[in-house]
């Protein structure tokens, strides 16, 4: 929160400045819908902690400087990679804490996916469900020493009391199996919709491109599992058991989908990063104070900035061609484009824009 004395001073300055500025009706500032004023947002997410997420997907993400969200099943994680399986299913190699912590240290998000890979009972009391969810939350937090903000519901199932329990357990965001694209302002952050990658052919390229079309102005969350090549042992087992939806695809198909997403110039970021931006954007107040050769922008929020610390992008409409921007940490000289200036701010900040020659 801004210091109350600073607030009072700025309010007094605002009255003075607005009374002394004339002919500036076209000037103003707003927070852009998406970070860096991108046309839409996309989150890449993974479930179950399969080892190929580390060996195949992670290098692709690093190649394109992208960050994703990885959902963890508590009972499947050991210190080193190990084999585990769901009931009546063959074993798949899973990441260990060594790999998961490397992902986290490189900016990827670790999310809860249940301590056990079992559907939550939607009829259980909220408190009971919350206790189950807290178990995996605390396990991950004991390793990363930061709050875990996102839950991928096991089997993407979030009916009944489940999403309310996620809120009670302290999660800010919950990813479901609702098969659509989220709006720019989702109605419930604990019921986020997801498009799933079912196998190497579903979605086909036409369907995937349609999903990307629908992401314009909106938030698309993609769900992946394993990246197996067609000649792998796992794919042979999958084909041998006539599994229709393998939730697996080759690395080449994954990279192609990544490139198609990048081509659209969308903002690609983990679920909690996009979710925090939306909540900060919708809960940050701006004050535009115009003086003769100076503009003071004051951003304030009622959110807890220890958690809600995702930078916001501010679009400033201004008549000056060249300006100095001071954000309290550094000064930088910027040039406007079409009388507009994009700058990144914190939800609680004071920015000074000065006219320069």
Q: List the Cα angle 147/149/151 in 5-degree steps.
A: 130
- Could you tell me which of 295, 290, 293 has the C-alpha nearest to residue 351? 295
End-to-end CA distance of the chain: 34
Which pair of tokens denotes residue 201?
A: 């052919």
Which sign, positive or negative, has the C-alpha torsion 76, 245, 255, 221? Answer: negative
Provide the pLDDT confidence category of residue 20 given band limits of 50, 70 and 90.
Answer: very low
Instruction: State residue 291's pLDDT score.
Output: 83
pLDDT value of residue 88? 72
Rounded Cα–Cα distance for residues 261 and 269 (Å): 12
Residue 262: pLDDT over 50: yes
Mean of pLDDT values over 3-20: 47
Q: What is the pLDDT of residues 102-155, one digit of tens each?
A: 999 999 999 999 999 999 999 999 999 999 999 999 999 999 999 999 999 999
pLDDT of 265-309, one tens digit each? 999 999 999 999 999 999 999 999 888 889 999 999 999 999 999
The token pair at 170 is 């302290």
Nearest to 245 by CA among 203, 198, 205: 198
Task: Map out the domains of the chain with their CATH numbers.
Answer: 4-35+283-355 (2.60.40), 40-265 (3.20.20.370)
Local confidence band at 15 (pLDDT 50, 70, 90 cut-offs): very low
Taking CB atoms within 8 Å and a gap of at least 24, the contacts of 96-104 are 97/143, 99/51, 99/54, 100/49, 100/70, 100/72, 100/143, 101/143, 101/144, 102/54, 103/54, 103/58, 103/70, 104/144
Q: 153, 63, 44, 171: which is closest to 109 by C-alpha? A: 44
Structure tokens at 261: 């997403």
Flag whether pLDDT at 34 surpasses 60: yes
Distance CA 316, CA 254 (A): 38
SS3 state at 258? helix
Sequence-distant (6+) residues with CB within 8 A of 150 are 69, 109, 111, 112, 171, 172, 173, 174, 175, 270, 271, 272, 275
209-258: pLDDT as tens digits: 999 999 999 999 999 999 998 888 888 777 766 677 788 999 999 999 99
Q: Reduced to 3 DSSP states, what percent helix, strand and coil does the chain have, rounded to the nearest 5?
A: 35, 25, 40
State the pLDDT at residue 91.
86
Residues 6+ positions from 52 with CB-CB distance below 8 Å: 93, 226, 227, 228
Number of alpha helices (DSSP H) and beta strands (DSSP E) in the chain = 10, 18
| 314 SS3 class | strand
- Residue bearing the bigger pLDDT, 89 or 43: 43
Would strands 41-46 and 267-268 be described as parallel, antiparallel, or unpaired? parallel
* Token pair belonging to 266: 């969308």
Beta-sheet strands, E only, within the chain: 28-31, 41-46, 69-72, 82-84, 92-94, 109-112, 150-152, 173-175, 195-196, 219-224, 267-268, 284-290, 294-301, 312-317, 322-326, 331-335, 340-345, 349-355
Tokens of 212: 């990307």
């Amino acid at each position: 929160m801004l210091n109350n004395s600073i607030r009072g001073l700025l309010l007094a300055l605002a009255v003075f400045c607005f009374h002394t500025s004339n002919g500036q009706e076209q000037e103003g500032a707003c927070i852009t819908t998406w970070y860096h004023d991108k046309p839409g947002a996309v989150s890449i997410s993974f479930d179950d902690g399969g080892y190929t997420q580390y060996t195949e997907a992670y290098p692709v993400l690093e190649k394109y400087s992208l960050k994703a969200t990885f959902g963890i099943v508590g009972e499947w994680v050991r210190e080193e990679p190990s084999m585990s399986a769901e009931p009546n299913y063959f074993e798949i190699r899973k990441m260990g804490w060594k790999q998961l912590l490397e992902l986290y240290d490189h900016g990827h998000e670790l999310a809860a996916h249940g301590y056990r890979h079992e559907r939550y009972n939607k009829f259980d009391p909220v408190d009971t469900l919350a206790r189950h969810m807290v178990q995996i939350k605390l396990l991950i937090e004991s390793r990363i020493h930061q709050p875990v903000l996102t839950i991928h519901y096991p089997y993407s199932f979030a009916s009944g009391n489940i999403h309310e329990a996620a809120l009670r357990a302290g999660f800010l965001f919950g990813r479901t199996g609702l098969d659509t694209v989220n709006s720019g302002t989702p109605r419930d952050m604990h019921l986020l919709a997801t498009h799933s990658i079912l196998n190497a052919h579903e979605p086909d390229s036409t369907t995937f491109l349609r999903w990307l079309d629908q992401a314009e102005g909106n938030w698309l969350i993609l769900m992946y599992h394993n990246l197996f090549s067609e000649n792998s042992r796992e794919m042979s087992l999958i084909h041998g058991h006539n599994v229709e939806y393998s939730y697996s695809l080759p690395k080449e198909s994954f990279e192609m989908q990544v490139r198609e997403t990048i081509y659209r110039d969308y903002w690609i970021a983990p679920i909690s990063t996009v979710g925090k931006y939306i909540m900060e954007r919708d809960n940050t107040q701006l004050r535009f104070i115009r003086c003769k050769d100076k503009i003071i922008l004051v951003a304030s929020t009622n959110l807890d900035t220890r958690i809600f610390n995702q930078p916001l992008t501010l679009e400033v409409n201004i008549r000056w061609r060249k300006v100095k921007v001071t954000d309290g940490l550094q000064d930088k000289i910027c040039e406007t484009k079409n009388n507009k200036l994009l700058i990144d701010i914190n939800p609680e900040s004071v920015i000074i824009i000065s006219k320069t020659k």
